[in-house]
Amino acid sequence: MNCRDAIPLMHEYLDGDLPGTEAAKLKEHMLACRDCRAMFEQFEKTEALVRSLTPAPVPDDLTPKIMSGIPKPRRRSGWLRWVRRHPAVSVAAVFVAVMLVSFASLWNQDAELAVKGADLDQVQIHGHTVIVPQGRTVHGNLVVENGEVRVDGEVTGNLTVIDGTVNMASTAHIAGQIKQVDQALDYVWYKLNEWAGLIAR
C-alpha cells in the first residue's frame, strides 16, 4: 500500500466502514509510515472536534420497520460530511481560529485607550486606567475602549467597556447598565459561526 491509497482508507476507518482485512493493511502501512501516522492523528483530532460540536444523531431504531429491507442512507449532518471530505480545510479553519484568538490578544495589548462621554471633565486618566474619583459624578454615558476603568464615584448613565476591565469601589454608583464588550472574542465567534454556516449548507 502506498500513501495515496492509505488516505481514503483512513476516512473509511474513522467512519467505521473499513472491512477488517483492509483495516489490517492500513494499520500495517501506518506502522511503517510516519507521515500517514501523523495525518491519521490529525484526522482523529478533527473528527473529535467536529463530534463535540455536532448534536447527537437521531437513533436509528426510530426508522419504521418497513424501511428495514431498504439500505439505510447515511445519517450524518451535512457539515460533518463536509469536514470529512475536506479535512485539510477544516484543520486549517481551526488553526485560523486559534491564530485569530492569539492575534487578537496581542492586538489588544497595543491598542490605544479611547474614552468617550459627555462629561469627561469628571474623569481622571492615568496611563491605561480611567478613574471616576470618589465624590465626582459623570453625567450621562461613559465609554472606555482598551483600558481599565475604576469607578469610585458616580455615573448617571451607562458604562460601556470595550476590550477592558471594570473595577467598582464600594462607593461607586452607576445608574445605568454596565456593559462589557470583548471585540476580539466577538470577532472570532463571528468568524467561527460564519465558517460553521458555510459547512452546514
- Interface residues toward Zn ion, by CB under 5 A: 3, 33, 36
d(CA 108, CA 11): 40
Shortest spacing between CB 34 and Zn ion, in angstroms: 8
User: For the purposes of burial, counting CB atoms within 10 Å of the CB of 169, is it exposed (0-12), middle (13-18) or buried (19 or more)?
Assistant: middle
Q: How far is CA 77 from CA 52, 152, 159, 172, in A?
A: 13, 53, 43, 51
> Is the Cβ of residue 42 or residue 54 nearer to Zn ion in the bound state?
42
Residue 33 or 113 having the CB closest to Zn ion: 33
In the complex, minimum distance from the CB of residue 87 to Zn ion, in angstroms, rounded to a whole number: 15
Closer to Zn ion by Cβ: residue 18 or 50: 18
Helices first, then strands: H and E counts in the chain: 6, 11
Query: What are 155's strand-pairing partners?
Result: 138, 174
